Structure 1
Amino acid sequence: MDMNTQVLAELSRSGGQGRSGQLRVRRCGTCGKTGYNARTCQEGIKASGNEYSS
């Protein structure tokens, strides 16, 4: 069995919804914007910086 035949067989078994399926837009868990995640969100840094101010 050559490589192309093997790949096609695996795709047909998995329903063909591998990486080429519909792509969902990922959003930040903190502010809901696209382009970054909650770990790198600037909104989260602003909010957490207020708890140490006197």
Structure 2
Amino acid sequence: MGEAAAADPAAVARVISDNRTEYGIPHTVSCRALGMSEHLRHALEKLDINPRVELT
């Protein structure tokens, strides 16, 4: 896993998703560029992790 992905995998997964939505960059390309496995991105997406929401 790359340094960016190791720092905050949920944030990197959001960036990958945003790249697809805003710029049409395929998930595979973003995953490879940012050092995140596609499997981890998919798992985080399925969990719908949103670190912007605080748990109380």
Measured against the shorter chain, the TM-score band is under 0.3
For CA contacts below 8 A with separation 6 or more, give which structure has more relative contact order.
2
Q: Tell me which structure has the larger Cα radius of gyration.
A: 1
- Give the TM-score of the pair, scaled to structure 2: 0.20
